[in-house]
Amino acid sequence: MSKLDWLKLEIDGLKDQGLYNHIRTIGSAQGARLIVDGRDVLNFCSNNYLGLANHPKIVEAAQVAMIKYGVGPAAVRSIAGTTDLHIELEKRLAKFKGAEDVITFQSGFTANIGTISALVGKEDVIFSDQLNHASIIDGCRLSGARIVPYEHNDPTALDAAIRENDGSYRRALIVTDGVFSMDGDIAPLPTLYEVAKKYDILFMVDDAHGEGVLGKGGRGIVDHFGLHGKVDIEIGTLSKAFGAVGGLVAGDKVIVEWLRQRGRPFLFSSAVTAPDAAACIAAVDLLESSTELVDKLWDNARYFKAEMKKLGFDTGGSETPITPVMLGEAPLAQQFSRELFENGVFAMSIGFPTVAKGKARIRVMISAAHDRDDLGQGLDVFAKVGRKLGVIK
């Protein structure tokens, strides 16, 4: 046995179970259609909710910034200074979201791990929704705090967990996804907030899939529920609806100030580039100027989900444009995805460990970039493949 044999066995195991990730290669800009592995296909799997990833105004803003600032940040912000663009972006995001202050990170992932590990430590406890995103889980582990998972979206279970652990910790943090990325359901934030308030516990929501999607004109989940000033920390991403890349933390100004001193990915890793920051500022401009794209996204999502239900597909309990098409076993989901692709539709299967075993699915991501013809084509292909594989009649 060589010391690497176990890896080959593990990888073969993934292949046998239909859980091996086959990553396709994209040869075009993001949009309703893509060139994938050399073929022109309908794009049903990106998080480009508003079509901003290749929006002319955003591309132009990035180009202008690239001419002025070049491409690389050259060092971390706290050591070598930060561009006025990064500062402007943070100010604009705070105003857009109605938060006291905002700090940006390289990604939503680093925003989560940096924030959680800066706020709680070994003597503390974190109450975490059991279906939280991997970056929250990793942030919790990194912090060294004791992790107490509570039943998904269940404020009563949260309350009970807090009571059970009463007196056993120094500080506590409650953390939940805003929109759960695999099922598209929304956390019951007002009721969770009541629990956080009752025990005076820090309350954090990761709104990666709500940023640019939920709330007035895409202002996010805190705006959606009118909880400004009540949710202590709102994490967002600039890599999904905003069409660029980056993460953000919006909240109380003392928390943001602390993260500028103690957020480790902020202190030890370079920032997004100036063109990225400029692209995000242009995205805020667009969102502030009109709700048209957000409205179109929701129109498209409602239409697509209703038609999929009519066809007989199980689209789970999604309340957002995320549309899971539940298939059960991972090999079926992989085969479904391959057949979709052969028929010109790019939608990937998702299986364990991203979702529980037996809950494999195709996750369709609807976008404002789609028009009704795109959605019609997608529905026709889903119907054809669904009948062929015996998923619908």
Task: Confirm whether 181 is a catalytic residue.
Answer: yes
With binding defined as CB under 6 A, does residue 115 bind ligand PLP?
no
Contacts of residue 91, Cβ cutoff 8 Å, sequence gap at least 6? 102
Beta bridge partners of 249: 103, 235
**Burial (CB count <10 Å: 0-12, 13-18, 19+), residue 38:** exposed
With binding defined as CB under 6 A, does residue 30 bind ligand PLP?
no
The binder of ligand PLP chosen from 73, 108, 139, 263 (CB under 6 A): 108
- Rounded to an integer, what distance in angstroms lies between the CA atom of residue 157 and that of residue 151? 6
Taking a C-beta distance cutoff of 8 angstroms, is the pair 34, 41 a contact? Answer: yes
Letters for 118-157 (x = contact with ligand PLP by CB under 6 A, - = none) are ---------------x-x----------------------
Among residues 55 and 133, whose Cβ is nearest to ligand PLP? 133
Rg (CA), the chain: 21
Letters for 224-263 (x = contact with ligand PLP by CB under 6 A, - = none) are -------------x-x-------x----------------
Q: How far is the CB of 111 from ligand PLP (least distance, A)?
A: 8
Task: Confirm whether 310 is a catalytic residue.
Answer: no
Contacts of residue 190, Cβ cutoff 8 Å, sequence gap at least 6? 225, 227
Q: Which stretch binds ligand PLP (CB under 6 A): 67-75, 104-112, 272-280, 314-322?
A: 104-112
Q: Which stretch binds ligand PLP (CB under 6 A): 58-66, 106-114, 354-362, 368-376?
A: 106-114
Q: Within 175-204, which residues bind ligand PLP (CB under 6 A)?
A: 177, 181
> Six-digit token pair at 294?
């957000």
Q: Which stretch binds ligand PLP (CB under 6 A): 103-111, 216-224, 295-303, 312-320?
A: 103-111
Among residues 125 and 179, whose Cβ is nearest to ligand PLP? 179
Among residues 239 and 323, whose Cβ is nearest to ligand PLP? 239
CA distances from 258 to 97, 113, 207, 251, 355 (A): 20, 14, 21, 11, 34
Contacts of residue 63, Cβ cutoff 8 Å, sequence gap at least 6? 275
With binding defined as CB under 6 A, does residue 266 bind ligand PLP?
no
Q: Which stretch binds ligand PLP (CB under 6 A): 27-35, 107-115, 319-327, 383-391?
A: 107-115
Q: How far is the CB of 200 from ligand PLP (least distance, A)?
A: 26
- Rounded to an integer, what distance in angstroms lies between the CA atom of residue 300 and that of residue 213? 13
Quote the DSSP letter at residue 251. E
For residue 220, count other CB atoms closer than 10 A to its CB. Answer: 31
Phi, psi of 52 (to 5 degrees): -80, -15
With binding defined as CB under 6 A, does residue 83 bind ligand PLP?
no
Task: Confirm whether 209 is a catalytic residue.
Answer: yes
Q: Which residue is nearest to ligand PLP (CB)?
A: 108
With binding defined as CB under 6 A, does residue 209 bind ligand PLP?
yes
**Pick the catalytic residue: 224, 240, 305, 359?**
240
- Rounded to an integer, what distance in angstroms lies between the CA atom of residue 365 and that of residue 361? 12
Q: How far is the CB of 169 from ligand PLP (least distance, A)?
A: 25
Q: How far is the CB of 109 from ligand PLP (least distance, A)?
A: 4
Task: State the sign of the Cα–Cα–Cα–Cα dihedral 17, 40, 181, 386.
Answer: negative
With binding defined as CB under 6 A, does residue 206 bind ligand PLP?
yes
- For residue 362, the surrounding DSSP H or E stretch is strand 360-365
Taking a C-beta distance cutoff of 8 angstroms, is the pair 214, 320 a contact? Answer: yes
With binding defined as CB under 6 A, does residue 208 bind ligand PLP?
yes
Site residues, ligand PLP (CB under 6 A): 107-109, 112, 133, 135, 177, 181, 206, 208-209, 237, 239, 247
Query: Mind telling me the catalytic residues?
Result: 181, 209, 240
